[in-house]
Amino acid sequence: MLLDGQIALITGAGRAGKGIGRSIALRLAKEGAKIAIADFAADAADAVAKEVSEAGGEALAVYGSVSSVEDVDKMVQATVDRFGRIDILINNAGITRDNLLVRMSEQDWDMVLDTNLKGVFNCTKAVAKLMMRERKGKIVNMASVMGIMGNAGQANYSASKGGVIALTKTTAKELGSRGINVNAVAPGFIQTVMTEEMPDDAKAGIAQQIPLRRLGSPEDVADVVLFLCSNASSYITGQVIAVDGGMVM
């Protein structure tokens, strides 16, 4: 198995149904990793941890907000207490609060930046200290094509994901000499709970703008994350891989 014996902490992995974090957790566990499922919602984290266990993997649910340094420290410590170390960090936690810029509240701006960008900073800082001592590690940040191309009605989300891309490159430069690979995945339109709420004609219109003529699946993203967590990507760092069917080239 590609990740046999590896320890992975995945934030925002408690999303039920077709969540990207859930799919990543199941995919990495299938390849032998032991998984810490981190989420603000305890019941959601518990549900995915149970699903991983029922599939034959080993999982721990940890709870807290990535925007809180104190919560992140507790989640990291709980993972280390259970598994002894952290080899892989997947910064997947993210939210949206969409609106046009002139109508966007300061609260919605701050909330998205605190979770999507500050959360990546908090988790990376906490886990990097552990990885630096081991002189190895894999960090994968969940960006978005919206952080590359922007999107009307998503000034806060696009800015946060653009920031994640810049943070990824900077972190890769700082941690590379310690044997730590840092990369980002930028999903396009993926079939999740959020996209399922869109009207069918809207989804069909989006698909026509994508060269592969379909929306992606959470599994499409999970497969790329697995690659970036495995030894197959040992000489790749500071990169942003778009999983978008060719929407952004």
Among 223, 228, 226, CA closest to 239: 228
Among 71, 69, 82, 2, CA closest to 35: 82
User: What gap in Å lies between CA 53 and CA 35, rounded to an integer?
Assistant: 10
Residue type, 194: M
| Cα 192 from chain centroid (whole Å) | 14
Q: Which of 157, 160, 216, 222 is catalytic?
A: 157
The answer to whether 188 and 245 are in contact (CB under 8 A) is: yes
| Cα 142 from chain centroid (whole Å) | 4
Q: Does 157 qualify as catalytic in the annotation?
A: yes
Diameter over CA atoms, the chain: 52
Q: Which residues are catalytic?
A: 157
